[in-house]
Structure 1
Amino acid sequence: MKALPSPKKLLKFLKWFCKPEYHPDIEGDLLELYERKREKHGEEKARWALLKEIILLMRPGIIRSLKNSQTLNHNGMYQNYLKVACRNLFRQKRYTVINIGGLAIGIACFVAIFLYVTHELSYDRHFDNIDRIYRVYTHEKSGEEYLGSAYYATIPLPLAEAMMTEFPEITHLTSMEEHDVLLGNERHHYLENGLWVDTRFFDVFSFRFLQGNPSTALSHPESIVLTRSLASKLFGNDDPIGKNLTRQIRQDIKVFTVSGIIEDPPANTTFRFSFLAPLQSHIYYRNSWDTSNAHTFLVLSKGATAEAIASKMPDLLKKYQKESLWTNYHQEAYLLQPFREYHLENQVNNDIGLKGNPRLVSTFSVIAVLVLLLACINYMNLAIARSMNRAREVGLRKAIGAVRRQLIWQFLGESILLSFVALLVAFLLLAIFLPVFAGLIERPIEVDLFENRLLLPGLGLLVLTVGLLSGSYPAFFISGLRPVQVLKGKLTNISMGRRFQRILITGQYAVSIVMIICSLVIYAQFHFMQQREIGYDREHIITMRLHDFPSLEKYRVMKSTWSNNPNIIQVTASGHLPTNITSNSVINYEEGNTDNPLVIYRTNITDDFLAVYGIELVAGKDVSPASADAKNTLLLNEKACQALGWQPDEAIGKHIKHRGTVIGVVKDFHMLPLKHGIEPLMLRMSDQAWLEYISVKISPEDIPGTLSLLESTIKQYSNFPFEYSFLDDEFDRRYKADLTMGKTVGFFTILSILIASIGLFGLVVLALDQRTREIGIRKVMGASTLSLVSTLSQDFLRLVIFGFLAAIPIAWYLTDWWLNDYAYSIDISWWMFALPAFAVFTLAFLTISSQSIKAAMSNPVECLRQE
């Protein structure tokens, strides 16, 4: 049989239903009855008797009336809470500034990162049927990877057409390519990036038309659709519909007629373009099973699944492809990916559009939560430290009838009020720092309460969450103090609060130290990549991208002109820059051998390529246009020789089928970012058919004059705008994402340390205020200033040390995981942990000792008198 409730619970039930004016007398009588029964008949019978009497008391004259109950006037109570909260804020200005400052910084960081994350997650959500749009991509199952991935974004154009024909689950399908062209009229010419699409493009992607008909705008091969901004640049206020434009790609020049104007793509659109043109009019249009060049997107009918489409692909290929091509399917598979995931997918080769960085999004999200949590911990710590000052208030309120629930809401209300004030201050901080942050991450983020409909309710929820989170423990802790003990000065719960406080401080510094270590490792890795010997020179080299063949045909003439300038040292041309050689192909190193193919990266070069970039030749000779068979000569790197089973000297004179004869071997150099290893490379002497860059090694003297000469010479042979960059800048751009992450993590790390230091300063001041009598007594007893500072500081510094010890395994795991993404990375060293620990410990010591010295040097008489 289940035991009866204890007398305490039974009397609590009595208090709940009994009128307040009768309750004290009735409770006293019942307690006397209970004691007599217990002494005479035992505990169990005494409880049954007490329960019986309480049940008999549940009658109309005893039960309290809800209408006539003497409850507090809620409006008056809330007004009193608000007055007390405001008085506390103004009376204790130092703690108010510390609390509001810490929370404001935390909220500002959280809102800034929230705006970035929501912007990244909002990409392409404005398209109709976004949940049913998919893109088709390829997976090479052979195991061969290109740029670290076996996934490719393009498929053969006939395959896209076959999918549309054979699969009724596909309601709409479109294919596209991307290319820069020179667009112009008699007044203006601009180099613009555009999409070359088929006539079904607007069935899949819902862009808003300002002029023209989406059904027919691209039906003619020589029609073109412009964005609003490009139409304004080319035609001003004139009506562009029906007007002609010239389009130039390389030497190919065609005339297009404007057939439509659409609104500029929103900032959160992955596709970046200023015009749309028919796919079949593209100079590189290939409708062949042998060529994978089409980026294909489709809309599935309701209820259809991507897995069902993928499972049908083998039968489709078998039906439409030649048998020789069908056998290749065993090495590749065609898959579908939801378009809502497209922006944050960066593991697929040859993608188009502006792609995000999922690692950056997840890292920033964690940082936002951590920084906000640090600010909330500050508030908790200060509230717990101030519990002695608020204890008497709680005791008096309870003595005059306040219940714990009311006290909890009072303290939570104060915390929410403080969070709201901190939000207002955070908006001022955002107005200053948000443009800097937006420029750093290169995203158009701003606080727009009207455009972003989720921002205002999100901020309200943030204030409520921060208020409840930061004020929860203090509210429950302080409200639980017993009035008799408080008024007598016996606070038994204080030790428990201080233990929790120590845990929070330790965790706070552990988080800060982890962030410092991660930031330091990111910067060290970036510095390592900048300083590592990459195998070629990158100082004082100007690179110019060429878009049309006329300039390449005149390359020798331009090179001769530039060679007469003393500030121009050497000139060369190539298909790629050595910072990013991404083209590859498959070769066989023996005539008739098809069993041992080698995937090799390749680019075309002209003479002086090795001289301009300072690439070392380890065997054989350099390419030269004077050679009788110059266009069939090759250079290999050491990695290619190793893969082919040759020593560098043995490679000289070897013939590679369909490629040429090896005449030299160059020392390995990093032609890809350091996330990738060195790959086999082939440099082929070009007949100028596939060259895109001219590289000029210059003297550091009179750089503006040299640039002016280069520009004027190129403009004699090209209609395209003059584009140039320095190779070292081009090299740094390859690591822009890493640099952005490093700068941003470093920025928020500094803020986290600032928040922790602000909180520690407040805690130290409060602790010293509460130990005024102790300080005075110690000084009277002869304690020196140094011993007092040591005594007052050691408790806090010990917590910092514990935080460092807790941070070590976490930081080690995170940095090791991050560095695993690089083929060449730094070694994690002890100083990367020791330096942040020393910096944080020193900052904490200065924060603590500055106040401790001030307290230790105070007059002991004044200390005791004040106490």
Structure 2
Amino acid sequence: MLVSYIKTSGRNIVRNKLFSSINIVGLSISMSVGLIMISMLWDLFSYDRFHENHDRIYRIISKYQFLDHKDNSFMATTSLKAAKAIKEEFSGIEDVAIFGWAFNGDVSYNDKTIPLSGFWANEAVFKVFSFELLQGNPATALKQPFAIVLTEKSAKKMFGDVDALGKTINLKDKQYTITGIVKDVPTFSHIKFDMLTSLSTREVLEKNNKHEMAWNNIWSTWAYVLMPPRADLNTFQQELNKLSEREDKTIKHTHIQLALQPLTNIMAGENLNNQIGTTIGSTVVWILGSLSFIVILSACFNYTNLSIARSLRRSREVGIRKSIGALKSHVVSQFIVESVFISLLALLVAFGLFLVIRPHFISLESSLQMLKLQLTPALVLLFILFAIMVGVLAGLFPALFFSRINAVQVLKNLGSVPVLKGLTLRKVLIVFQYSLSIIAITATLIIYKQYKHFISFDLGFSTANILNISLKDNKAELLIKELSELPEVKGISQSLLVTSVGNYWGVHMKNPNNPTDSAGVYYNSVDENYLPLHNHELIAGNNFTANTQDSIETEVIVNQHVLKRFNIAEQNPAKAIGEVVKVDGKDLRIIGVIKNFEYGKVNNNSGKEVIIRYLKEKPRHLNVKILSADWPATYAELEAIWKKIDPVHPFEAKFYDDQIEEAFNGLKAAMKLGGFLAVLVICIASVGLLGMVIFTTETRLKEISIRKVMGASERGLLYLLSKSFLTLLLIAASIALPLIYFFFQQVLFPEIANHAPLNLSELFVGVIAVLLLALVIIGTQTFKVARTNPAEILKSE
């Protein structure tokens, strides 16, 4: 029976080449997106599965509340105090692996130096996780102070083929003994490192740092708990709540909430701050998944629409089948097999498109570069199952529709087919498809406008021609001296961080008018050249002066938001000069007030209250103003100067404007993806519309010929044939536009700071573009039919 269905399906495909081609093209375009999505999800859900106990590992996450100021979401980090308390006091757990933030630096051995990055880690790391230790004892490799474990790749970089175990290396003027060599971290691990050093080392180095073990120091420690099989997670959560209740008493006005996050949910789970590595998060997965589903659904609708449009022809076939004994189940099976057959043919085309799209998709954004999308036998099997599922989904409604046809009524009168009467399903599907098309293209245009708006936004200071150079722990004075001799260099300043690109450094500040009122403020530490170089507007007071010999911090510059938040000097900038505020426990005198500027990313509501501190520590960046007529030559000179001072680290320098643009790479990637999918949706809808127009005009050839004989003009016939389609398109526009307006104006924009206003003209650009494309499709086909010679059509009547 199945062989018979396949043969019949093949004959139908060959007999109806045009409609079969339209279906295959539409399905293949949409299925290529589905293949990308399946590959992406396959990679995401492969993360951290190589750990033997991956289903029993949970990360401790934290939520911070100070007074009434509560964070909206959890952070991936917790306090070192919480991690140690869980390890030492909690029963019913097997162990706790602890990672400490940013153990980075230049590792030296003899005359060789290489930069490596990693974490502080305790000895339980190799028990909780399945990182394979090639050399060394996993139980003791990270136990003693100043013990270090290198990855296989890092050891080879440093020592070549010489055995590295037991060697002593230098890092930040300290001697570390190599106690283990770990196999290179697998690609699908959310924790990646070049080296690990014992957490006990940090305890030695930070023994006088009281903040190290503070309950509210939740920003730089990751704790992973290995639970026993069939552990009671509710009981464990209650223990975490008791721990929070006890330790909250040690920090006034503070509450730290602890919770568990499964290891396998980290990569594609909740979007948390302070991740140990790059994650994609559930938001991106849901957005891409939803868009992919819409594209596939649109193609399935095409198939359904064209199948039902051909109901006049197929109804006779079904009527004859039923009259000779076919059951409903036989008819359903026939149409499902035919649909799956077409879907499998479309899979072949879709696979070719997948191979073309894959490298472009991976390169869209850094976070997507964590994906490999490599073909495996299991993935190919998923592709085939996906094609079968799409075939069943696309063919299900036509199959059910034709299976209900009454053979006697159809063979007696084709007009009895119910779908041919009134508002048919095919019209609903056309409206739905074009509503999706209008939504997709209009939303992409709006996002593009927002992107251009954000990267060109007036930040409140100048970024033009400023090159930010990452110092990498080098002495700024040496580089400044060399750079100052270049004629292209017009000014140099030093800073702790680059603002307006998503970097946030915070500190607590107390209200001088109310000692019980304190709040977090953001800051940047700079030298005396920074404000004039960036054209910050000083409203009152003075800039810093060169007082580098003074090691005690005594002065601060604040923005207008700080005056407003603490009501300093009744928010009068001139009167605020000389006021003393307590920042990070230090009494600092306000010497200047600057105009408000965008400290964080433009589209983020955080980063309002900002203070500018004088740089007392090592700067992280040089800000160099450059005016050059030959930038490649100037860059080569800058790189040569860098290599002379630092031959180890690569020269990292970016123009400020480029860094701001990079800060919105996520939005740029979303815009590209949205645009790509919008084009696909429109193409699929247009291919479907083309099929519907061809079918409709072909079925009305005799009517058109008679009308022409009776004197109808080509213009009149053109209007007659296209008006029903144009009406459907206008209905689609009337549905899509209010939905777009409501989503952006009422849902999305209220959550985004500094967004560009939504103009009605933007809404209609997408509508006009889609309508013009549809008009071209309708016009070319209807005009072709309207110009046919009626004698050729009616000669056989």
Q: Same fold (TM over 0.5)?
A: yes
After TM superposition, the structure 1 = structure 2 runs for residues 73-472 of structure 1, keeping only pairs within 5 Å, are 74=1, 78-142=2-66, 149=72, 151-179=74-102, 180-186=104-110, 189-247=113-171, 252-282=172-202, 288-290=212-214, 291-292=217-218, 293-313=220-240, 316=243, 326-328=250-252, 330-344=254-268, 348-441=272-365, 442-445=368-371, 448-450=374-376, 453=378, 455-472=379-396
Encode CA deviations 1:87-143: one digit per residue, 9 max, x unaligned: 222233222211100000111111112222343344323323333322223322235
Residues in 1 aligned to 2:6 and 2:772: alpha-carbon distance in whole angstroms: 40
CA distance in 2, matches of 1:347, 1:376: 32
Q: Which of 573, 576, 579 is 1:651 aligned to?
A: 576
Distance in 1 (alpha carbons) for counterparts of 2:752 and 2:45: 26
- Does structure 1 residue 510 correspond to structure 2 residue 435? yes
1:605-641 residue CA offsets vs partner (Å, 9 max, x unmatched): 1011112222111111111105986952211111112
Q: Distance in 2 between matches of 1:188 and 1:627?
A: 34
Matched, 1:782 2:711: yes
The one-letter code of the counterpart of 1:308 is T
| Change in CA separation of 1:277 and 1:446 when aligned onto 2, cut-off 3 Å | closer
- Structure 1 residue 407: Cα displacement: 2.3
Q: Distance in 1 between matches of 2:272 and 2:326?
A: 64
Secondary structure at the aligned position of 2:512 is classed as coil
| Partner residue, 2:775 | 845
Q: CA deviation at 1:787?
A: 1.0
* Cα contact 1:581–1:602 (8 A) shared by 2: no
| 1:617 aligns with one of 512, 515, 538 | 538
- Evaluate the alpha carbon distance shift between residue 589 and residue 846 of structure 1 in structure 2; reply closer, same or farther with a 3 A threshold: same
**In the aligned structure 2, how far is the partner of 1:866 from the partner of 1:539?**
77
Does the aligned pair in 1 maintain the 2:525–2:615 contact within 8 Å? yes
Tell me the equivalent position of 2:754.
824
* 1:272 aligned counterpart, secondary structure: coil
Deviates more, 1:233-242 or 1:356-365: 233-242
1:608 is aligned to 529
Tell me which residue corresponds to 1:662: 590
SS of 1:297's partner is strand
Secondary structure, counterpart of 2:608 in structure 1: coil
Of residues 842-851 and 493-502 in structure 1, the stretch that sits farther from structure 2 once superposed is: 493-502
Q: Which moved more, 1:625-634 or 1:297-306?
A: 625-634
Does residue 547 of structure 1 match 2:472? yes
Whether 1:495 aligns to 2:423 is: no
State how 1:507-586 maps to structure 2 within 5 Å. Answer: 507-548=432-473, 550-552=474-476, 555=477, 557-579=478-500, 580-586=502-508
Aligned-partner Cα distance in 2 for 1:521–1:647: 40
Give 1:317 shift.
6.7
1:700 aligns with 2:628: yes
Q: Distance in 2 between matches of 1:167 and 1:397?
A: 72
For the 8 Å contact 1:182–1:189, the answer to whether it is kept is: yes
Contact 2:244–2:258 (Cα < 8 Å) also in 1:
no
Matched position secondary structure for 2:515: coil
**CA drift at 1:485:** 4.1
1:61 is matched with none
Cα distance 1:446–1:486, how it changes in 2: closer, same or farther (>3 A)? farther
The verdict on how the C-alpha distance between 1:728 and 1:423 changes in structure 2, with shifts beyond 3 A counting, is same
1:866 Cα deviation from its structure 2 partner: 6.6
Confirm or deny: 8 A CA contact 2:271 2:282 kept in the other structure.
no
Question: 5 Å matches for 1:738-753?
Answer: 738-753=667-682
For residues 669-818 of structure 1, what are the structure 2 equivalents within 5 Å? 669-673=597-601, 674-687=603-616, 689-718=617-646, 719-815=648-744, 816-818=746-748
Q: Is the 8 A contact 1:632 1:684 kept in 2?
A: no
TM-score (norm 2): 0.91
Counterpart-to-counterpart distance in 2, 1:497 and 1:128: 61
**Structure 2 SS opposite 1:721:** coil
Q: CA separation of 1:336/1:476 partners in 2, compared to 1, >3 Å: closer, same or farther?
A: closer
Q: What is the one-letter code of the residue matched to 1:253? A: D
Change (3 A) 1:303 1:79: closer
Question: Quick one: which amino acid aligns to residue 234 of structure 1?
Answer: M
Q: Relative to 1, partners in 2 of residues 1:377 and 1:685: Cα closer, same or farther, differing over 3 Å?
A: same
Letter in 2 for 1:573: Q
Provide structure 1 residue ranges, at least 5 long, that are not aligned to the other structure: 1-73
Q: Which protein shows a greater Rg?
A: 1
Q: Which amino acid aligns with 1:546?
A: L
Amino acid at match of 1:625: A
**Residue 595 of structure 1: SS of its match in structure 2?**
strand
Matched to 1:443, the amino acid is Q
1:796 to partner: Cα distance? 1.2
Contact 1:174–1:200 (8 Å) recurs in 2: yes
Offset of residue 311 of structure 1:
3.5
CA 1:428–1:345: 2 relative to 1, 3 Å: closer
Name the CA distance, whole Å, in 2 between partners of 1:191 and 1:864. Answer: 84
Structure 1 stretch displaced more, 712-721 or 202-211? 712-721
Deviations along 1:447-473, one digit per CA (max 9) or x if unpaired, are: 54536x3x3443333222222221122
What letter matches 1:332 in structure 2?
A: I
Amino acid corresponding to residue 559 of structure 1 in structure 2: I
Compute the TM-score of the two structures, normalised by the length of structure 1.
0.84
1:57 aligns with: none
Residue 786 of structure 2 corresponds to 856
- Equivalent residues of 1:652, 1:663 under 8 A apart: yes
**Contact 1:138/1:151 (<8 A) preserved:** yes
Matched residue type, 1:215: A
Structure 1 residue matching 2:139: 3-state secondary structure: coil
Deviation by residue 1:632-661 (Cα, 9 ceiling, x = unmatched)? 221111111222213111111222231422
Is this contact kept in 2: 1:227–1:263, CA < 8 A? yes
Quick one: which of 392, 400, 417 aligns to 1:476? 400
CA–CA separation in structure 1 for the residues paired with 2:685 and 2:595: 51
List alignment gaps of at least 5 residues for structure 2: none
Any idea what the Cα deviations from partners look like across 1:244-264, whole Å, max 9, x if unmatched?
A: 4433xxxx2334343333333
Distance 1:747 1:400, change over 3 A: same
Note the alpha carbon deviations across 1:1-51, whole angstroms, 9 max, x for none. Answer: xxxxxxxxxxxxxxxxxxxxxxxxxxxxxxxxxxxxxxxxxxxxxxxxxxx
Letter in 2 for 1:429: L
Query: 278-287 or 464-473, which moves further after superposition?
Result: 278-287
Hey, what's the Cα distance between the residues in 2 that align with 1:567 and 1:370? Answer: 53
The number of residues matched between the two structures is 775
Say which is worse superposed, 752-761 or 495-504, in terms of deviation: 495-504
